[in-house]
Structure 1
Amino acid sequence: METDLLRTKDDIVNVFEHFREDLDDNNDRRERLIKSSRDITNLSKKCIFLLHRIATEDSQDDFHSRGMRAVQQARPKLREIQRLFASMKPELVGDLYWRHRKSVSPGLQEYIEALSFSHYLEHGTLVTFDQVQKSIGDEDGPYFPLTISDYLLGLSDLTGELMRFAISAISRKGGRAKANEICAFVRRCKADFEGMCPRVRGLSRKQHVTNSSLQKIEDAAYTIAVRSSEYDLPDDILDDIVARCISGYDTNHRNYDRRPDRTRDRDGDEDDSDYY
């Protein structure tokens, strides 16, 4: 009888030791993924700053030439980010990705923002879902599945970068036409994203940021149109007036958090579920 009890006790201890090892492994994996996601976020921000700096530098080249030069110089950074995603692949095998998706999403969305900005400078269009998925994979397939919510939330952040690009470019040669082009593009993005808000958590709040970005571009374009109609001046003098007009524009969004709101279920636990 005592032998059976001891055996039962040892079995229970072994089971709980297995639970402990599983929890420790889960927490260690989560910390590694969070660190990798933060590294990806930092590199993506540097890539975006590089694209802005080169695409809006003072040059005799047109915007497309400057944009292509910016894209060429940003590609090594994008490849570095993609190598980080490749290093995360062993940590996200099978259903592990769905368990740890919230640790990966912030960096992934920032990467999509950088990739989509680079793609816009090169092609003038939105990067597609399949193109993003292909960029985070190899010949064996994707490193992990890309969700529609991460894709859309990353694309929504692009509108803020396009607003900064439009405001910075508007005082340069050909900048007024470029700003009008970006304004029309952001307006279409806002309209297309609007219908997806009920199905993607966090997108409706980002739509407020998109609306603010669109309003800033429209205000700048309206100001330039009014000023241009008042003076019959050479383009270089008019560009100087334009630069002074937009110098006070604020291109920063305050009270903005990349993470979507979290609600709590009836048990008091945080509910991070998405429709997609």
Structure 2
Amino acid sequence: MTREAVLDVFEQFREDIDQGNDRRERLIKASRDVTNISKKAIFLLHRIVLEDSADDRALALRAAASGRAKLAEANALFALMRPELVGDRYWRYHRQVTGGVQEYIEALSFAHYVEHDALISYQQVQDALSDADGPFFPLNPSDYLLGLSDLTGELMRFAISNIARRGGRPKASQVCAFVRGCKSDFERFTPHVRDLSKKQYVTANSLEKIEVAAYAISVRSSEYDLPQEMLDDLVAQVTARFSLDNNRDAHTHHDGGGGYGERER
């Protein structure tokens, strides 16, 4: 092989490496944008679904519709990512996109729960990650399970907020039972899905917070024949304490350096 031929081969190697690095950076940025949009969708869902309303069902439908509308912005980004993830590129660059995909699934599953009081299926998530031209990319079952595991944290906040609402305590009990079922069902997958055991630990903490808050309210209301106004004040005090705990946990989680930042490297 001549010297010129060898140089041509290495020039092609250089171009391939440069293209791969550029693609990786584009996917990291797009995944971060998807994460930000998904977080905004979750915040929007919490804000709307906890508004005062005489018709809780209509409120839930409006919240879910608003959340899905916000997530449409993430779908537009996924559509732009599709050419970068064709064929085996999806698996090659999976670490760069998994954070955004999991956050999207968390937001989508929360909207689905608000609307249907049920867990979104794998096929429903894959359908959401598609358009008229087909799927944006194949949905990794691990991403599906990890995204659903993150949902339990949002359901904990949803349950605690419902405990503080007048007439919302039955809903909180329903959410508590649902989170308990999720923890039990996900346990069987922990040997097969990386990082799921860590998220199961967080799910257990979320479940404990719901149960302790509900138990405190139940005990106090049964011990004393309290007027509704005093009971609501007591509930507000209990839920305020749990809100502070949640904020500290969130701060610790972000300072810990884990999660998304590690997945994208």
Indicate if the aligned counterparts of 1:82 and 1:136 stay in contact, CA closer than 8 A. yes
Match of 1:42 in 2: 36
Q: Post-superposition, which runs of at least 4 consecutive aligned residues in structure 1 deviate over 4 A? A: 259-262
Q: 1:232 aligns with which of 225, 234, 243?
A: 225
CA distance in 1 between counterparts of 2:48 and 2:120 reads 20
Match of 1:71 in 2: 64
Alignment of 1:74-223 (within 5 A): 74-223=67-216
Alignment of 1:265-276 (within 5 A): none
CA distance in 1 between counterparts of 2:44 and 2:260 reads 24
Q: Which residue identity does 1:180 align to in structure 2?
A: S
CA distance in 2 between counterparts of 1:236 and 1:71 reads 31
How far the C-alpha of 1:62 sits from its partner, in A, is: 4.6
Match of 2:259 in 1: 258
How far the C-alpha of 1:141 sits from its partner, in A, is: 1.7
Indicate if the aligned counterparts of 1:51 and 1:71 stay in contact, CA closer than 8 A. yes
Instruction: Please tell me whether Structure 1 or Structure 2 has the larger radius of gyration of its CA atoms.
Output: 1
| Structure 2 gap segments, 5+ residues each | none
Indicate if the aligned counterparts of 1:30 and 1:103 stay in contact, CA closer than 8 A. yes
Scaled by the length of structure 2, the TM-score of the pair is: 0.92
Comparing 246-255 with 144-153, greater Cα deviation is found at 246-255
Q: 1:185-221 CA deviation, whole Å, 9 max, x = no partner?
A: 0000000000000000000000000000000000000
CA distance in 2 between counterparts of 1:60 and 1:135 reads 29
Q: 1:76-130 CA deviation, whole Å, 9 max, x = no partner?
A: 2111111110110111111111110110100000000000000000000011000
Scaled by the length of structure 1, the TM-score of the pair is: 0.88
Indicate if the aligned counterparts of 1:201 and 1:260 stay in contact, CA closer than 8 A. no
- Secondary structure of the 1:197 match is coil
Q: 1:134-165 CA deviation, whole Å, 9 max, x = no partner?
A: 11112232111001100000000000000011
For this pair of structures, how many residues does the alignment match? 256
Which of the pair is proportionally richer in helix?
2
How far the C-alpha of 1:259 sits from its partner, in A, is: 4.6
CA distance in 1 between counterparts of 2:134 and 2:171 reads 38
Comparing 60-69 with 20-29, greater Cα deviation is found at 60-69
How far the C-alpha of 1:238 sits from its partner, in A, is: 1.7
CA distance in 1 between counterparts of 2:260 and 2:78 reads 20
Match of 2:27 in 1: 33
Q: What's the RMSD between the two structures over aligned residues?
A: 1.8
